[in-house]
Amino acid sequence: MTAFGAYELGRRLGAGGMGEVFLARRLADGQQVVIKRVLPGLASRPGFVERFLHEVQVLARLHSPCIVRVFDFGEVDGRWFLAMEHVEGLDVAAWLARGPVSLSAACRVVLEGASGLMAAHGARDAAGRATPVVHRDVSPHNLLVDLDGSVKLIDFGVASLGGQGESGGKLAYAAPEQLMDELTSPHGDQYSLGVVAWECLAGQRAFGDVEDVELIRLVTEVGVRPLPASVPSSLAALVQRMTALAPSARFGSMSEVREAWLEVVRGLRLEVGPAALASRAVVEQARPVLPLPAPGDRERQPLSVVETAALGVIRDGMSAEEAEAAIDARTLDGAPFALDVLQGLVEKGALRAEDRDGERRFFR
């Protein structure tokens, strides 16, 4: 164990272009937490701390049992950190990869995800003014199933306040308007949760395994295909409405989504309590899953539009500064966001980061 301010750091669970993630123990009471710590030197880059604190600001304002909690943040010996709830379980992507799931389990994932998004979309500032938080990256990878059967939404790193912010998210789950660089809204999160619902009910990828260019065409022009006939038509109708190409054709809010699902669940007499998920999670004895995707698993962590474009301009051995400049020139405007893209590429296994001669370099 390594001392770090009010914590002791244990096993390192992952690292990316921007930070490291550790299992840790809070000294005051021994509680196990997750520490996300920024890499040395990054805090001196213009705008970087502001972007890191953006995620803190977003998470700290959200209070829901269906959203991972933030306990603390700050700076220790020049290293910025975020202390978060440790969720022992597995993400929905890994959970689905282990085989078909019941209708009850699939519906619980959707209902819990909707509850978390209701809290985000209904957020208010200290003065009580409505300031909705749009997640913009809802996917099976960002929904964790705890061993007790609860579901928690994680990774608000690309979230926007009131719909403002750069495009983000994974191609296969991003709403059509998000891929067309239009203003994001809660309707985009609804679409993404609808795709997750489709995959939980069908037990397969909504758009199959296609190249990125074709995937963008399917998402923006064709839409999600019909669910298999084995899925009850009442559930299929809910998913169809949530994933409509036009935001105006979807439900008016996540509250409406949740109420509609509850009504259908009652009609089908499905049991959607914690037991719908807990029994499977406990039997699997899942390893802890944390708010940092496992490196080296590119298929499990699909790339976003921006990440796909950025990967095309990275050459082996590029320094962090060179990589940021290349990304800025091709896709973005502003080094802080370029750093986020590099982190995502490393975390998803598309790039490898190595420290050589005191400088971080990237390799494909």
Q: What is the pLDDT of residues 300-342, one digit of tens each?
A: 455 655 566 677 778 888 888 788 777 765 443 333 356 667 7
- Residues 162, 308 within the same domain: no
In this prediction the pTM is: 0.73
Which pLDDT belongs to residue 158?
56
Mean pLDDT score, 79-93? 87
Mean pLDDT value of segment 226-244: 97
- Token code pair at residue 280: 């499977």
H/E stretch holding 364? none
Cα–Cα distance between 66 and 331 in angstroms, integer? 34
Structure confidence by residue, pLDDT tens digits, 279-304: 555 444 433 333 333 333 434 455 65
Least confident of 20-29, 34-43, 208-217: 34-43
Q: Are residues 256 and 117 in the same domain?
A: yes
Mean pLDDT in residue range 115-132: 87
Cα gap 350→342, rounded to integer Å: 10
- Give the pLDDT band (50/70/90) at residue 215: very high
Please report, for residues 198, 255, 264, 338, the alpha-carbon distance to residue 237 in angstroms, rounded to integers and kept in the order given: 11, 17, 10, 39
- Token readout for 338 is 């370029």
**Domain assignment present for 289:** no
Secondary structure element (H or E) that encloses residue 346, with its range: helix 335-347
| Whether residues 38 and 180 fall in one domain | no
Count: domains in the chain: 3
> Distance between the two ends of the chain, CA-based, in angstroms?
33
The answer for residues whose C-beta is within 8 angstroms of residue 13's C-beta and 6 or more apart is: 21, 22, 23, 34, 288, 290, 292
Is pLDDT of 233 > 70? yes
71 and 102 inside one domain: no
Among 73, 70, 49, smallest CA distance to 60 is for 70
Per-residue confidence (pLDDT) for residue 335, from 0 to 100: 35
- Among 2-6, 153-157, 307-311, the range scoring the smallest mean pLDDT is 307-311
**DSSP β-bridge partners for residue 91:** 144
The residue among 86, 112, 128 that closes a domain is: 86
Look at residues 198, 172, 176 and name the one whose alpha carbon lies nearest to residue 187: 176
- Do residues 8 and 137 both lie within one domain? no
* CATH number, domain with residue 328: 1.10.10.10
> Which CATH number fits the domain that encloses residue 236?
1.10.510.10
How far is Cα 6 from Cα 9, in angstroms, rounded to an integer? 10
- Residue 156's identity, in one-letter code, is F
Name the strand (E) or helix (H) holding 225. Answer: none
Question: Is the same domain home to 16 and 143?
Answer: no
CATH, residue 22: 3.30.200.20
Instruction: Please check whether residues 8 and 110 belong to one and the same domain.
Output: no
Cβ atoms of 4 and 39 closer than 8 Å: no
Residue 42: its H or E element = none
- State whether 164 and 69 are in the same domain: no
Mean pLDDT of the chain: 82
- Considering the domain architecture, whether residues 271 and 348 belong to the same structural domain is answered as no
User: Does the active-site annotation cover 137?
Assistant: yes
Instruction: Say if residue 162's pLDDT is above 60.
Output: no
Q: What percent of the chain has pLDDT over 90?
A: 40
Task: Residue 347: name the closest of 13, 50, 9 by CA.
Answer: 13
- Domain termination site, one of 86, 107, 128: 86
Active-site residue (options: 29, 77, 125, 137): 137
| pLDDT at position 165 over 50 | no
Domain boundaries, position 190 = 89-284
As a whole number of angstroms, the distance between CA 228 and CA 350 comes to 33
pLDDT in the model for residue 260? 98
pLDDT, residue 356, reads 76
Q: Do 310 and 362 fall into the same domain? A: yes
Number of Cβ within 10 Å of residue 95's Cβ equals 25
End-of-domain residue from the set 86, 120, 146: 86
